[in-house]
Each structure stands twice: as C-alpha cells, then as structure tokens.
Amino acid sequence: MLIVGNYLSPYVRKALVCLELKGIAYEIDPIVPFYGDDRFSNLSPLRRIPVLIDGDLVLTDSSVICQYLEELQPSPPLLPADIRDRARARWLEEFADTRMGDVFIWRLFYRVAVGPAVWGDKRDGEQVARTLAEDVPAVLDYLEAEAPAEGFRFGAPTLADIAPACFIRNANLSRVQIDATRWPRTAGWMARTLALPVFEKLAALENATARRPIAEHREALRAAGAPISASTYGTATPRRGVMPI
C-alpha cells in the first residue's frame, strides 16, 4: 500500500496509526498537499490528504481509509464490538475530524506553521489569540465530558481515542498544551493515547521534519528510517486547493 501525505497531518497520522496497529506494510510519499502535482489532483479531487493507493483502489478520506483497513484486517479491532459503542466511537472520530480539525488545524496549526512555510503568510496573532481563548476551551470542555477517568474510551484503544489524539498532537506542535487542572480527564486520556508506542514511533518521524524546509522532508525522513516511496507526486511549486481554508 502507498499513503500519500505528510506525517504532520493529523488525518495522515490517523491512517498511519491504523496501518501500524494492524501490521499492514506500506510506503509513504510524504508530500504537503499544496505541493501535489497534476497526478495528485487526479488522485485527490479536493487536493487533500491522506490518499491511500492499494493496487487499483484509490481512497481519499481518512475515515474511509480507516474503515477500509478495519474491514480488510479486522484484528486488532479499532472500533468497539458493541453496536452502540461503535456508533459513538465513529461520532468521536467525526467530531475530531471536523470540529478539532477546524480549530486545531485551520485556525492554529495552519496559521502558525503551514501558511508561513508554504505561502509566506504573516501570523495573525489576534485570530490565534481568539481561537485559544474561545474555541480551544469549548473543544476541551466537550472532550472532558467524554473522557474516561482511566484507560481508554471503550477499554482497548480505538478510533475514539486515536482520532482526537491526532489533533492534540498538532496542538502540542503549535505549543498548545491541555491545562490538566481545568481538564484533568482529557489531559490524562490524551497523554495515555499519545504514549502508545505507535504514536511515539510516528512522533519521532514527525520531529525529523517539524522545523525543516519542506524541500528537505523526503531525505530527512529517509534518514530517520521512514518507509519512503521511490517516486513522488510532489512538485516544487505550491498551488492552493479547491476547498476554502
């Protein structure tokens, strides 16, 4: 299998966690989506990542990819066995992908890291401060009501734990930490999830590129031991996607 997408993306991270936990071999073409070429546009009509290529099958949404992997390799399961718990886990994955994606990626990580690196954007301090003061607490309040007192949301780790943790990892990369005095259950829950060996393995690869120019990512990751593909869908010139930011 081939994953197209950068290690620093929470959506890519979610797919990689699933692949790693299920022991499925893969290679990765670690492009930032804005640097995808015309072939990438054909693979991903929205010019978003991750893309999974498995033979002649192409999938372009992280939740669809994880569901495919769950059905392809049911063990270990990454959704609860109980139908009601499974539905709830899918909702928590959706909450992460949609609401946490909006807050932690587009309003924070994109503003402080991606926009300046790709487009030379200036950091909008007022917008970032408003997000930290209003949106982040609202997300964490919701997670606090869902967080288990110990362990994971449905016993063993599932997508209900993995998906939110993928976004908290990007918050941490943006120097945003969970206040454990205000959100103690969420802080413990996310710390336990991010301490899983699979997250620590991926974090080491993410750290290899976190503060490097995008043009150096492939070689830095190869040197760090990432399973880099022989060819790339990347190009040297960025272009904006079709979806509004």
Note the pLDDT of residue 122.
80
Helices 197-207/184-194 angle, 10° precision: 80
pLDDT score for 52: 98
Q: What residue spans in the chain does CATH classification 1.20.1050.10 cover?
A: 83-197
Per-residue model confidence (pLDDT) at position 58: 98
Question: What confidence score (pLDDT) does residue 65 get?
Answer: 98
- Mean pLDDT of the chain, nearest integer: 94
Residue 5 predicted with pLDDT over 70: yes
**103-147 residue pLDDT tens:** 999 888 888 888 888 878 887 788 889 999 999 999 999 999 999
Question: Would you say 94 and 146 are in contact if contact means Cβ atoms under 8 Å apart?
Answer: no
pLDDT range class, residue 243, cuts 50, 70, 90: low
SS3 131: helix
CATH architecture of 83-197: Up-down Bundle (1.20)
Q: Which tens digits make up the pLDDT trace of 185-205?
A: 999 999 999 999 999 999 999
Sequence ranges of the chain with CATH classification 3.40.30.10: 2-77+212-224
Given the candidates 1.10.150.120, 3.40.30.10, 3.30.70.2700, 3.90.600.10, the CATH classification of the domain at 2-77+212-224 is 3.40.30.10
